[in-house]
């Protein structure tokens, strides 16, 4: 029988991976979900990829899901004279908010609120922190006087980070709203909200999704210090978290990111919220056919910490070795999962929770699977709640979820451990469990003599939470 990876892989689509054949090659190598980066590309280009992925799902009986990643209020420089200019340490230089051409003596941003957001002494970081300016004074409207702390080459449209400032721009820009409505029109399973700062950011995007009558789930990208301060509220409100280590490392200092990653992963695991670890996981494979030892260790540690999903960015979007990158990541994941103590975490439950009885039943099913060395734990769900509660406990047994909600199959493909099956023949408990057992026997996921645990609600036709455990032998 096949041993498959529990930790999932999310790959960003770009020029190296944006046609049917390349996408299928990545799926065959182990990709579970694709990220559409709306910082780049027109809607027409993204629509082609959406149609390709859905065609792959139809033709190959896969449940690959799609994640729309909104650009958010990314602050950037404008164009630069002659394509680049050099600024030097100690130099005084104005930073204007008029979107004009940057020169050696004046830099310019397309973000009109910068002068009002910063104050004297604040740091302004350019190009992922490679260059640093210190605010001397600001007129609060259009111009900021700065001194160069670390100089270098300034290139067009590079990002600006304000680690000491509270950015006034809304999380959903006008571009984001246009992109969001496009994504909702296409029924994408997940949408990632960039530069989340407070729980109200999550409430706003969920309000829009609800008004459109959609069930797209929200990923809060954690890349601002304000988000760390409000993290418990954000985790409670969102459907998933992304540890966006690039901007987060620039904003809070890269030396803080490892422990923040562990903290965020632990909190999400306890809350049964999927957590994605992103940025530079195998960066060297953009140009090399093998990862570095440090990158392999980074992937392994994210798996050990409990990440649901590992994300690739430029490696799969523009890299020279996208398929090799996926294979290398899957190989590392499988090796870690076969030897590291990552299973059977069994976090405590809260008796005060309104779902305590159902949650307790799921937890006991995972304990029973552990004690009997069960091959599989099988859940049935319409909303996905039982599935998320099940994998919260990180059972070593394989997790198979059966649902008559086809869209949910793709949504859950982003979540740790879950392999989904479409099933719409719910009859009596005995008939349904026997039928599901036969599906898994026929597919080779269980073998005669294997122990498996079934979770279900009885009667099958009632809309209620899980209320039954059954131990069976295939």
HEC secondary structure over the chain: CCCCCCCEEEEECCCCCCCHHHHHHHHHHCCCEEEEECCCCCHHHHHHHHHHHHHHHHHHCCCCEEEEECCCCCEEECCEHHHCEEECCCCEEEEECCCCCECCCEEEECCCCHHHHCCCCCEEEECCCCEEEEEEEECCCCEEEEEEEECEEECCCCEEECCCCCCCCCCCCHHHHHHHHHHHHCCCCEEEECCCCCHHHHHHHHHHHHHCCCCCEEEEEECCHHHHHCHHHHHHHCCEEEEEHHHHHHHHCHHHHHHHHHHHHHHHHHHCCCEEEECCCCHHHHCCCCCCHHHHHHHHHHHHHCCCEEEECHHHHCCCCHHHHHHHHHHHHHHHHHHCCCCCCCCCCCCCCCCHHHHHHHHHHHHHHHHHCCCEEEEECCCCHHHHHHHHCCCCCEEEEEECCHHHHHHHHHCCCEEEEECCCCCCHHHHHHHHHHHHHHHCCCCCCCEEEEEECCCCCCCCCCCEEEEEEC
- 221 is an active site residue: yes
Give the tokens for residue 31.
């990709």
- 470 is an active site residue: no
Q: How far is CA 20 from CA 239, 321, 338, in A?
A: 29, 17, 32
- 207 is an active site residue: no
- 327 is an active site residue: no
Cα-Cα end-to-end distance for the chain: 14
Pick the catalytic residue from 197, 221, 273, 375: 221
Other CB atoms within 10 A of residue 340 CB: 12
Pick the catalytic residue from 48, 76, 214, 345: 76
Q: How far is the C-alpha of 210 from the C-alpha of 85, rounded, in Å?
A: 47
Pick the catalytic residue from 8, 35, 197, 394: 35
Pick the catalytic residue from 279, 381, 386, 432: 279
Residues identified as active-site: 35, 76, 221, 279
């Amino acid at each position: 029988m096949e041993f498959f990876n529990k930790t999932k892989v999310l790959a960003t689509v770009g020029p190296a991976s944006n046609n049917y054949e390349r996408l299928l090659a990545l799926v065959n190598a182990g990709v579970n979900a694709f990220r559409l980066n709306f910082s780049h590309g027109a809607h027409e280009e993204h629509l082609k990829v959406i149609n390709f992925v859905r065609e792959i799902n139809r033709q190959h009986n896969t449940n690959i899901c799609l994640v729309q990643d909104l650009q958010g209020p990314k602050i950037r420089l404008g164009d630069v004279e002659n394509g680049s200019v050099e600024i030097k340490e100690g130099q005084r230089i104005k930073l204007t908010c008029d979107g004009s051409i940057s020169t050696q003596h004046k830099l310019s941003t397309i973000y009109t609120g910068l002068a009002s957001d910063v104050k004297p002494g604040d740091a302004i970081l350019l190009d992922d922190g490679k260059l640093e300016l210190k605010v001397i004074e600001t007129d609060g409207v259009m111009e900021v006087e700065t001194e160069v702390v670390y100089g270098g080459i300034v290139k067009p449209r590079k990002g600006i980070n304000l680690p000491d400032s509270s950015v006034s721009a809304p999380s959903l820009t006008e571009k984001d709203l246009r992109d969001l409505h496009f994504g909702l029109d296409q029924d994408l399973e997940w949408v990632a909200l960039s530069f989340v700062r407070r729980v109200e950011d999550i409430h706003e995007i969920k309000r829009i999704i609800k008004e459109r009558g959609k069930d797209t789930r929200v990923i809060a990208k954690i890349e601002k210090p304000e988000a760390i301060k409000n993290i418990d509220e954000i985790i409670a409100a969102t459907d998933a978290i992304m540890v966006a280590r690039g901007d987060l490392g620039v904003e809070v200092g890269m030396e803080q990111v490892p422990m923040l990653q562990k903290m965020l992963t632990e909190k999400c695991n306890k809350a049964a919220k999927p957590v994605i670890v992103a940025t530079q996981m195998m960066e060297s494979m953009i140009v090399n056919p093998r990862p570095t030892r440090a990158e392999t260790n980074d992937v392994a540690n994210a798996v050990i910490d409990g990440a649901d999903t590992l994300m690739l960015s430029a490696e799969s979007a523009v890299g020279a070795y996208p398929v090799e990158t996926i294979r290398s990541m899957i190989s590392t994941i499988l090796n870690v999962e076969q030897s590291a103590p990552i299973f059977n975490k069994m976090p405590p439950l809260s008796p005060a929770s309104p779902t305590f009885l159902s949650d307790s039943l799921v937890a006991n099913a995972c304990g029973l699977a552990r004690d009997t060395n069960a091959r599989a734990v099988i859940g049935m769900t319409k909303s996905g709640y039982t599935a998320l509660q099940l994998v919260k406990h990180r059972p070593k047994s394989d997790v198979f979820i059966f649902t008559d909600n086809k869209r949910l199959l793709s949504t859950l493909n982003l979540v740790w451990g879950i392999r989904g099956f479409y099933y719409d023949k719910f009859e009596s408990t005995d008939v349904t469990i026997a039928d599901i057992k036969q599906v898994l026997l026929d597919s080779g996921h269980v073998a005669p003599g294997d122990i498996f645990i079934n979770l279900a609600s009885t009667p099958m036709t009632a809309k209620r939470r899980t209320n039954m455990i059954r131990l069976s032998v295939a």
